[in-house]
Structure 1
Amino acid sequence: MKNIAVIFAAGTGQRMNTKSKPKQFLDVHGKPVLIYTLEIFQKHPMIDEIILVCLEPWIQYSKELLSKWHITKAKIIIQGGHSGQESIFNGLKVAHDNCDEDSIVLIHDGVRPLIDESTVTIAIKSVQRYGSAITVSPAIETVVVKNEDGEVGSILKRSDCEMAKAPQCFYLKDIYNAHLKALQEGNVDFIDSASLMQHYGYKLFTVEGPVENIKITTPSDFYIFRAIIDAKENLQIIGL
């Protein structure tokens, strides 16, 4: 049985308005965002293998990055699909074909580089105990549900709300079989693995991760990530 990180890096980054590179390949201090993400799983002692799901035109470039930055656990790069759900399934299929079905898979966004080692550890242990682990962080603003005409409907109690993030973690056999059911039934528009698994009757358990575990989707997200990296480097310089 292995602990396998399936890293989804097949997005085109349309909301980033970048013309030269997808967002996962943008550099911060000379290192691509994707490498910041992969290094967390590369260095984690409980992660045995990384499967990278990538845009087809960027597979060769990704191989070069893995070699340059010594991401040795990532031995497989697989082409992404036409949607996030299809891309994740491509990665899961490779895992299913090559690993024991009782392995644990941690599905994570390549553009979510601020996850930490502790959360990954807790997520793996949650799967071992409960069968799932959905990384969340507390809602820090009021969540409202609007009606079709734009009028505010329900105002949710903030203490009852959490923001679903990643990694989202399951036993390989469970998430793989759920994806197969979705394909057979033509359900191809699930927003993430958590919603897919809940739809097919699996119980989901949460683990709380760092608030700064943002997904880099827009230019402002990128600037926030860069500011956090700058702050961490400055603290290291002064010995804190």
Structure 2
Amino acid sequence: MNIAVIFAGGTGKRMNTKSKPKQFLEMHGKPVLIYTLENFENHPMIDHIVLVCLAGWIEYAEDLLKKFGIKKVSKIVPGGKNGQESIYHGVRAAEQLYGGDNVVLIHDGVRPLINDEIITDCIKTAQEHGNAITVSPAIETIFLKNKDTNCVGQIFERSKCEMAKAPQCFKLQDIYEAHEKARQEELFDFIDSASLMQHYGYSLYTVEGPAENIKITTPSDFYIFRAIMDAKENLQILGL
């Protein structure tokens, strides 16, 4: 069984929107979160979806699921104090509902530009190796920041660098147990699931996805999303 845990518990402070959290902003009459959910709803290998949502917006999310025909969401759980705790809430709910002997795909609710190929490749890689981290090649120079001198630190060879994205996929029991260990050890600052799992000794396997698989965090990300969606729509009109 393959279960998607979609976390949409952020408030979107960097988006500078006062009316709605970023996951509920609309593009062509459809919220960003729904675009994301539809990728998993329509994929034949996804059996269930657990949605992690801001506590005060759960009823609103339920209405959206009905309006747009999202039927695979089996449970909505409230988010936590930070991203790590929000993911834990979703992973715990999935483990309680379906047991640990399954694959879980952890994905950002504001990362709508994934496709069937990424989801399929992640599932197959996780089934074979126990996990799968979606990545894309680094296209900018990356270096360590020297906080003391405000100078450029070590510069990394770009061809050897990749950017971690999502979905990040694991055997459900593995990621659930890692979260429980982190909570017992009071470690709450892991930036994502990949860093959490690497901390506990897991070798992580990559699946390369397209650069357009962006996370919509700032207003400029939203404009990029709109431009990509408009371009895809125009290509369909032209029959390309």
* TM-score in same-fold range (> 0.5): yes
User: One-letter code of the match for 2:150?
Assistant: G
- Name the CA distance, whole Å, in 1 between partners of 2:196 and 2:73: 26
1:93-172 alignment runs, 5 A limit: 93-148=92-147, 149-172=149-172
**Shift in Å, 1:83:** 0.7
- SS of the residue corresponding to residue 58 of structure 1 reads helix
Aligned 8 A contact 1:116 1:210 in 2 = no
Cα-to-partner distance string for 1:119-165 (whole Å, 9 max, x where unaligned) = 11000001111111000000011111121222111110011000000
* Deviation at residue 100 of structure 1 after TM alignment: 2.5
2: CA distance, partners of 1:231 / 1:154: 38
The alignment's C-alpha RMSD in Å is 0.6
What is the DSSP-based 3-state SS (H/G/I as helix, E as strand, rest coil) of the residue aligned with 2:101?
Answer: coil
1:82 alignment partner AA? K
Q: Which residue is 1:51 aligned to?
A: 50
Determine the C-alpha separation between the residues in 2 that align with 1:109 and 1:146.
27
TM-score by length of 1: 0.99
Residue 204 of structure 2 aligns with an amino acid whose one-letter code is L
Distance, in Å, in 2 between the alignment partners of 1:100 and 1:88 is: 16
Distance in 2 between the 1:234 and 1:96 partners?
Answer: 42
Provide structure 2 residue ranges, at least 5 long, that are not aligned to the other structure.
Answer: none
5 Å-filtered alignment, 1:8-27, equals: 8-27=7-26
Please, which moves more after superposition, 150-159 or 53-62?
A: 150-159
Q: State percent identity of aligned pairs.
A: 68
Tell me what 2:84 maps to. 85
C-alpha deviations, 1:81-136, integer Å up to 9, x for none? 11100010001111111113110000000000001110110000011111110000
Q: Which residue of 1 aligns with 2:203?
A: 203
CA deviation string 1:2-59 (max 9, x = no partner)? 1000000000000000010000000000000000000000000000000000001100
Q: Which runs of 4+ in 1 moved over 2 A?
A: none
Which stretch of the first structure deviates more once superposed, 171-180 or 145-154? 145-154
Q: Where does the alignment leave 5 or more consecutive residues of structure 1 unmatched? A: none
